[in-house]
Amino acid sequence: MTPSRNHLFRAFRDAIPAMDKALVIHPDGGIETYADALALSGRLANLLVARGVKPGDRVAVQVDKSWPALALYLAAVRAGAVYLPLNTAYTLNEVDYFLSDAQPTVFVCRPQILAEAKALADKVKVPCVETLGADGVGSLTEAAAGQPEAFEDVERGPEDLAGILYTSGTTGRAKGAMLSHENLLSNAAVLRDDWRFTGDDVLIHALPIFHTHGLFVASNIILLSGASMIFCPKFDAGEALAMMGWSDHRPTVMMGVPTFYTRLLDNPGLTREATAHMRLFVSGSAPLLAETHRAFETRTGHAILERYGMTETGMNTSNPYDGARIAGTVGFPLPGISVRVSDPESGRILGADEIGMIEVKGPNVFKGYWRMPEKTASEFHDGYFITGDLGKIDGAGYVHIVGRGKDLVITGGFNVYPKEVESEIDAIPGVLESAVIGVTHPDFGEGVTAVVVAKPGASLTEEAIHGALDGKLAKFKLPKKVFFVPELPRNTMGKVQKNILRDTYKDIYRNVA
Ligand code: AMP
């Protein structure tokens, strides 16, 4: 293996087409070149080392999306550290757990929480706290300005970690998925080739960069193609359509969660003409309704390319670039990746069209959960990672996802594990028990919905539940609606029948715009 195939940053460096080419384009048209990326990430890498970061150390980051935040990711990789981005919606209570578990050397937070972050860092023994604001300003960038640009990238092997992403478990306890240089590099290279990315591409990047989709799929592909991306702080359908009409840095590709596409469809500006210069629309992180796929194709002539992946594996399957992109399917296994379906009870490998547990094997599959060797071992089946998604592979080889074995709720592209929300609700005085389900929502894909049983004599209201949960959980995990019932439906084994609840409440968000 050549070094560039081992080291994520070296591969990015080797892909730079010209130093004065734009890597990041701001929505106002300003640019950051590849030379700027080398310079800022070099300064930040020197700063991280000066702050005591050694190879293998974690650099935890909970900041808004910005150009310096992207450079910080590159800096951590260059310094041989493990980049650990955290969802900006996580509360301090949740961050406490992540910092205690991951024990980073540096924690970079938003300036507005500095005092609380410092107190937390003292408690959990994180030696250094820096700030970085949405405007790209903070103690981090101020200190980096005094550092040299030149930085010798720290050697790393393919098995060494480049990132950790936390993902919630069915038990409610988040697990850190350890991703190596090889995991990230192999997946970005496969996707670049499969989706035909070149240096001529300009991506509309409106995803957050604390999640695998926006960071390890979108940003890594652009870096590995020597291409450019318009870095939007958040998705806005009107803005995205306006960008598609730019004459300079005209976009060619958009990646999004299904919500982006339903919002575009709601905008009368979405037409064949408006999208004429786009070559590709990619969707993932949650199921894209076949109806959305069809409506988008009718309006624009573009068949959205749906792919399937997860934090632990990066991308596993994709509808074809050339060939039929079938609505309601997630396409074929990507090159070098094996996908199979097994019987969840017996482990027997199933044949075409038989529904079971989707399992994945390949260079994309993570190195395990941080400091949880037993949990890691239990999630593998003869070398295949057990995804927790139920599905089938049809006779033509297309993978279909039919449900989520782990009862995950995906709202606006973010995962919510019911158990975690249920535990918080159950702790509220007056609550006997609760069940949290995902209910089809026109805007979010699914809306988190709680069904609560009160203790005899207790009088509870939806407002009281909301009030008690506020600040305990990230906003996206909070139930959009709370219902009260005398008892939860259960099967003979005593398990709550969530399918019955989903059916009962299936229309509650129908008229929510
Ligand atoms: P995350 O780890 O946040 O990326 O979430 C991964 C989960 O999202 C997967 O295990 C699937 O349940 C779901 N997912 C991702 N992409 C798709 C898709 N195209 N269709 C259906 N579910 C998806």
Separation of CA 311 and ligand 1 centre (Å): 9
Contacts of 396 (CB under 8 A, 6+ apart): none
- What is the C-alpha separation between 227 and 23, in angstroms, rounded? 6
Exposed/middle/buried for residue 28 (C-beta within 10 Å: 0-12, 13-18, 19+):
exposed
Our answer on whether the CB atom of 364 is closer than 6 Å to any ligand 1 atom is no
Residue 357, beta-bridge partner list:
342, 390
Residue 386, beta-bridge partner list:
359
For residue 19, CA distances in Å to 14, 15, 37, 69 come to 11, 11, 9, 20
DSSP string, 461-476: -HHHHHHHHBTTB-GG
Angle at the Cα of 180 (from 178 to 183), degrees rounded to 5? 105
Residue 480, beta-bridge partner list:
none
The pLDDT tens digits of the residues spanning 26-44 come to 999 999 999 999 999 999 9
Angle between helices 92-102 and 114-124 (to 10 degrees): 40
Q: How confident is the model at residue 290 (pLDDT cuts 50, 70, 90)?
A: confident
Separation of CA 23 and ligand 1 centre (Å): 28
Q: Count CB-CB contacts under 10 A for residue 64.
A: 17
Angle at the Cα of 97 (from 123 to 285), degrees rounded to 5? 150
Q: How confident is the model at residue 345 (pLDDT cuts 50, 70, 90)?
A: confident
Our answer on whether the CB atom of 286 is closer than 6 Å to any ligand 1 atom is yes
Contacts of 115 (CB under 8 A, 6+ apart): none
Our answer on whether the CB atom of 311 is closer than 6 Å to any ligand 1 atom is yes
Separation of CA 12 and ligand 1 centre (Å): 27
Mean pLDDT, the chain, rounded, equals 94
Separation of CA 285 and ligand 1 centre (Å): 4
Separation of CA 307 and ligand 1 centre (Å): 9
Separation of CA 415 and ligand 1 centre (Å): 9
The whole-number pLDDT of residue 2 equals 43
The pLDDT tens digits of the residues spanning 299-338 come to 999 999 999 999 999 999 999 999 999 998 999 999 999 9
- What is the C-alpha separation between 374 and 357, in angstroms, rounded? 20
Q: What 3-state class would DSSP assign to 422?
A: helix
- What is the C-alpha separation between 158 and 154, in angstroms, rounded? 13
- What is the C-alpha separation between 139 and 113, in angstroms, rounded? 13
The whole-number pLDDT of residue 259 equals 87
Tokens 């870095």 -> residue: 231
Euclidean distance between the first and the last CA atom of the chain, given in angstroms as a whole number: 53
Q: How confident is the model at residue 492 (pLDDT cuts 50, 70, 90)?
A: low
Both tokens of residue 408? 């995950």
For residue 189, CA distances in Å to 37, 169, 224, 314 come to 20, 29, 7, 12
Our answer on whether the CB atom of 217 is closer than 6 Å to any ligand 1 atom is no
For residues 69 and 140, is the Cβ–Cβ distance under 8 A?
no
For residue 408, give the ligand 1 atom closest to its CA. 12
Q: Please state, for a pLDDT cut of 90, what percent of the chain lies above it.
A: 85
More confident site: 324 or 1:
324
Angle at the Cα of 350 (from 340 to 324), degrees rounded to 5? 55
Q: Count CB-CB contacts under 10 A for residue 445.
A: 24
CA 434 to chain CA mean position, Å: 27
Our answer on whether the CB atom of 329 is closer than 6 Å to any ligand 1 atom is no
Our answer on whether the CB atom of 415 is closer than 6 Å to any ligand 1 atom is yes
Give phi and psi for 424, each to the nearest 5.
-70, -40
For residues 160 and 56, is the Cβ–Cβ distance under 8 A?
yes
Q: Is the pLDDT of residue 219 over 70?
A: yes
Exposed/middle/buried for residue 457 (C-beta within 10 Å: 0-12, 13-18, 19+):
exposed
Our answer on whether the CB atom of 446 is closer than 6 Å to any ligand 1 atom is no
Residue owning the nearest CA to atom 21 of ligand 1: 287
Separation of CA 284 and ligand 1 centre (Å): 7
More confident site: 502 or 494:
502
For residues 469 and 478, is the Cβ–Cβ distance under 8 A?
yes
- Eight-state DSSP code of residue 369: B
For residue 404, give the ligand 1 atom closest to its CA. 12
Separation of CA 175 and ligand 1 centre (Å): 16
Residue owning the nearest CA to atom 23 of ligand 1: 286
